[in-house]
């Protein structure tokens, strides 16, 4: 049974924007020593936009844009939405593209067939870097150093375009991380993004540590490893991919505007996506334990 003190604390925190799904979670939160954060949609707003586009001069750039936009239209990934929106904003009239054999490769990108050609769109390690240097001349490294996510577009065996996408770090992120540091809580960002982009975002967020090139299933492994070192670990995430990692932490915290899967799996929900409320929730949990 839930103690009256716990109940009133839970209802007070709900008013301030933190929803505890049960008394146990509310009481456990005060023991947390480390927190792992997903990057996209959690530390960042999760609304990337295409800021740069390079096309191989041997190919028709409009055709590439049109096909990339049509393929990504079949994916719900934030990067996919941004690429489709960019494609539609750049082209006056789009024809109907017949996309077949569409495959979402989690944490990597997508592949599909259009007009008997195989297209792959995703991270350079997934698509392959061969032939990229010849037309984009190291520019992708410079874009990544600015915290941009670089996506390659491959047609058959040739890289035909490079897109750079920029997501913005949430306004509240830096403050939230600072508050957690004051509570002696170690913070780590887990992301599927590449090393250079991850480092730039981690620096902007002021987070203690980051792990890049992290596949969704590897996030679980990293949470488990953090638990070996810090014993009590929370995970904060927003997406479908984050559900297993949320479940493997001592406390799973979901962003209120995240996916249904994340909300269902989480123990605690930040109703207004306000990361700074984690600190309040931890403090509240500590006070509650004293009363109980
Ligand atoms: P995060 O951990 O930052 O939320 P994901 O694990 O979802 O990122 O994706 C990791 C990387 O895979 C992205 O940074 C991107 O390079 C690539 N990627 C994934 N899905 C897509 C897609 N639909 N289109 C292009 N690139 C993608
Ligand atoms: Mg995310």
Residues counted in the chain: 292
Confidence tier at 239 by pLDDT (50, 70, 90): confident
Confidence tier at 258 by pLDDT (50, 70, 90): confident
What is the CB-side half-sphere exposure of residue 243 using CA atoms within 13 A?
10
Confidence tier at 96 by pLDDT (50, 70, 90): confident
DSSP state, residue 59: S
**130 class by beta-carbon count within 10 Å (0-12 exposed, 13-18 middle, 19+ buried):** exposed
Instruction: Tell whether the model's pLDDT for residue 1 goes beyond 60.
Output: no
Confidence tier at 3 by pLDDT (50, 70, 90): low
Of 212, 263, 225, residue with least CA distance to 242: 263
Residue range 218-237: mean pLDDT, rounded: 96
Q: What is the pLDDT of residue 21?
A: 83
186 phi and psi angles, rounded to 5 deg: -75, 135
Q: What is the pLDDT of residue 213?
A: 92
Instruction: Tell whether the model's pLDDT for residue 181 goes beyond 90.
Output: yes
Q: What is the pLDDT of residue 287?
A: 81
Is 225 in contact with 233 (CB distance < 8 Å)? no
Task: Report the separation in Å between the CA atom of 92 and the middle of ligand 2, taken as the mean of its atom positions.
Answer: 32
Measured between its terminal Cα atoms, the distance across the chain in Å is 12
Q: What is the pLDDT of residue 139?
A: 85
Instruction: Tell whether the model's pLDDT for residue 291 goes beyond 90.
Output: no
**100 class by beta-carbon count within 10 Å (0-12 exposed, 13-18 middle, 19+ buried):** exposed
- Residue 254 sits at the vertex; the CA angle it makes with 252 and 256, to the nearest 5 degrees, is 155
Rounded to two decimals, the pTM is 0.86
**What's CA 59's distance to the chain center, in Å?**
32
Instruction: Pick from 77, 238, 243 the residue to mutate for probing ligand 1's pocket: most ligand atoms within 8 Å of its CB.
Output: 77
Least confident of 32-46, 68-82, 98-112, 257-271: 257-271
Domain ranges for the chain, please list them.
4-45+170-291, 49-166
Proximal ligand: closest to the CA of 82: 1
Least confident of 61-75, 120-134, 205-219: 120-134
CA-CA-CA-CA torsion sign (245, 247, 251, 257): positive
**Residue pointed to by tokens 């890289």:** 159
- Residue 73 sits at the vertex; the CA angle it makes with 68 and 78, to the nearest 5 degrees, is 95
**Which CATH number does 4-45+170-291 carry?**
3.40.50.1000
Q: pLDDT exceeding 70 applies to what percent of the chain?
A: 93
Residue range 251-271: mean pLDDT, rounded: 91
Q: What is the mean pLDDT of the chain?
A: 90
Known active-site residue 38:
yes
| Binding pocket residue ranges, ligand 1, CB within 6 Å | 38-40, 72, 75, 77, 79-80, 107-110, 121-123, 149, 151, 191-193, 216, 241
Structure-block tokens of residue 107: 């944490």
Cβ neighbour number for residue 169 with a 10 Å cutoff: 20
Structure-block tokens of residue 55: 């096309």
4 or 32, higher pLDDT: 32
Interface pTM, i.e. ipTM: 0.95
Residue range 89-102: mean pLDDT, rounded: 89
Is 267 in contact with 26 (CB distance < 8 Å)? no
Instruction: Pick from 153, 164, 193, 262 the residue to mutate for probing ligand 1's pocket: most ligand atoms within 8 Å of its CB.
Output: 193
- The arrangement of secondary structure in 49-166, i.e. its CATH architecture, is 3-Layer(aba) Sandwich (3.40)
Residue with the nearest Cα to atom 27 of ligand 1?
109
Closest approach atom of ligand 1 to CA 215? 6
Alpha carbon separation from 195 to 61, 83, 140, 213 (Å, rounded): 29, 22, 13, 7
* pLDDT (tens digit per residue) in 104-159: 998 899 999 999 999 999 998 899 877 777 667 778 888 988 889 999 999 998 99
Residue range 149-175: mean pLDDT, rounded: 95
Closest approach atom of ligand 1 to CA 191? 2
């Amino acid at each position: 049974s839930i103690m009256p003190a716990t109940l009133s604390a839970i209802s007070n925190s709900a008013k301030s924007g933190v929803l505890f799904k049960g008394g146990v979670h509310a009481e456990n939160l005060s023991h947390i020593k480390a927190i792992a954060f997903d990057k996209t949609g959690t530390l960042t707003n999760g609304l990337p936009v295409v800021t740069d586009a390079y096309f191989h001069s041997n190919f028709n750039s409009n055709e590439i844009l049109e096909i990339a936009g049509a393929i990504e239209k079949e994916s719900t990934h934030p990067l996919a939405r941004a690429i489709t929106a960019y494609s539609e904003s750049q082209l006056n009239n789009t024809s109907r593209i017949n996309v077949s054999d569409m495959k979402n490769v989690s944490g990597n990108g997508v592949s599909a067939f259009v007009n008997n050609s195989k297209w792959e769109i995703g991270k350079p390690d997934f698509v392959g870097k061969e032939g990229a240097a010849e037309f984009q001349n190291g520019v992708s490294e410079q874009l990544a150093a600015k915290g941009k996510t670089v996506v390659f577009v491959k047609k058959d065996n040739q890289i035909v375009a490079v897109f750079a996408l920029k997501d913005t770090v949430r306004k509240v992120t830096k403050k939230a991380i600072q508050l957690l540091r004051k509570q002696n809580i170690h913070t780590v960002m887990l992301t599927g993004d590449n090393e250079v982009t991850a480092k730039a975002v981690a620096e902007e967020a002021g987070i203690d540590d980051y792990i890049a090139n992290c596949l969704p299933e590897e996030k679980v492994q990293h949470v488990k490893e953090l638990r070996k070192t810090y014993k009590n670990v929370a995970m904060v995430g927003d997406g479908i991919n984050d559900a297993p990692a949320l479940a493997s932490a001592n406390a799973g915290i979901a962003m209120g505007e995240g996916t249904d899967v994340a909300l269902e799996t989480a123990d605690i929900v930040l109703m207004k996506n306000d990361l700074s409320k984690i600190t309040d929730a931890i403090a509240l949990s500590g006070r509650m334990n004293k009363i109980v």
